[in-house]
């Protein structure tokens, strides 16, 4: 029993490690640097100036924090989708589903490295904020911020897992992915204060991951304590759990249906 647990843990982490390696090893250091370090910068500059110009009121730190967390979301959504959906592309699905491996360990392990990668993205974003936009972290409780970032990357990776499973089922996943990403850009409060949105849009915002994470991060950087944000963080975490479980069920349904319909290796 315990033995089974440790071996499943191994599947979990090795799956995480190798799927991540398979995804990123082709990038040369320079390309990696460009996509992980400089792409966020251009996006941040874009939103800080456009945003400040358009709203006139919001400070640069509003956009810096919002967009740093958007990087977590993009890593979660695109990274995880690619590592789950990529199995179809590489033709490995029959070999994965023909193995006795625990499906839960195999599936969720995919998300782990992208959570870490997403967190790195957030730090890089905040780093640019400090360097270029006078982001002030002197009132920030570092542990509370770290926890917020961790939970937010977790919840957006949960969305990524769900999208990844969709990518096994539908073929048009990049379109769906981009739409979801765009939804997050608009509805999460990263670039437009949620309070400024029409009522019906706010309802959508409250259902998405990221929204609460962004709000928490702003509160903490403003000097708030962990206790101030804990209720929101709990819901953010819960959203992540729900998305992950939904994704897992979709994954199981896909497996059963593919064996019934004979679509396991169609791509």
Return the DSSP state at 77: I
Name the minimum Å distance from CB 108 to another protein: 14
Name the minimum Å distance from CB 172 to another protein: 16
When the beta carbons of 17 and 49 are compared against another protein, the nearer one is 17
When the beta carbons of 58 and 263 are compared against another protein, the nearer one is 263
The residues that touch another protein, with contacts defined as CB under 8 A, are: 7, 10-11, 14-15, 18, 21-23, 25-26, 90-92, 94-101, 106, 259-262, 264-265
Name the minimum Å distance from CB 109 to another protein: 10
When the beta carbons of 27 and 54 are compared against another protein, the nearer one is 27
Place of tokens 């979301």: 73
Tokens matching residue 148: 């917020």
When the beta carbons of 86 and 193 are compared against another protein, the nearer one is 86
Name the minimum Å distance from CB 188 to another protein: 32
- Which residues, 6 or more positions from 67, have their beta carbon under 8 angstroms from its beta carbon? 40, 43, 44, 47, 48, 125, 190, 191
Q: How far apart are CA 77 and CA 178, in angstroms?
A: 9
Write the secondary structure of 212-262 as one string of H (helix), E (strand) and C (coil). HHHHHHHHHHCCCCHHHHHHHHHHHHHHHHHHHHHHHHHHHHHHHHHHHHC
């Amino acid at each position: 029993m315990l033995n089974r647990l440790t071996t499943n843990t191994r599947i979990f982490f090795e799956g995480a490690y190798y799927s991540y390696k398979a995804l990123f090893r082709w990038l040369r250091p320079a390309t990696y640097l460009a996509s992980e370090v400089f792409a966020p910068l251009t996006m941040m500059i874009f939103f800080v100036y456009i945003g400040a110009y358009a709203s006139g009121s919001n400070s640069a730190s509003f956009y810096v924090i919002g967009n740093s967390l958007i990087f977590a979301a993009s890593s979660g959504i695109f990274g995880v989708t690619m590592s789950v959906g990529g199995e179809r592309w590489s033709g490995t699905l029959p070999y994965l589903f023909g193995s006795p491996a625990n499906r839960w360990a195999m599936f969720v392990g995919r998300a782990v490295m992208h959570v870490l990668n997403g967190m790195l993205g957030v730090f890089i974003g905040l780093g640019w904020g400090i360097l270029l936009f006078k982001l002030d972290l002197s009132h920030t409780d570092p542990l509370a911020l770290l926890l917020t970032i961790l939970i937010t990357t977790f919840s957006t990776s949960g969305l990524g897992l769900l999208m990844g499973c969709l990518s096994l089922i539908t073929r048009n996943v990049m379109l769906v992915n981009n739409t979801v990403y765009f939804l997050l850009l608009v509805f999460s409060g990263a670039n437009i204060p949620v309070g400024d949105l029409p009522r019906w849009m706010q309802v959508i915002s409250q259902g998405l991951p990221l929204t609460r994470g962004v709000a928490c991060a702003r509160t903490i950087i403003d000097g708030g304590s962990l206790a101030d944000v804990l209720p929101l963080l709990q819901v953010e975490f819960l959203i992540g759990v729900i998305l992950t479980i939904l994704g897992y069920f979709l994954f199981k349904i896909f497996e059963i249906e593919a064996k019934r319909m004979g679509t396991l290796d169609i791509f």
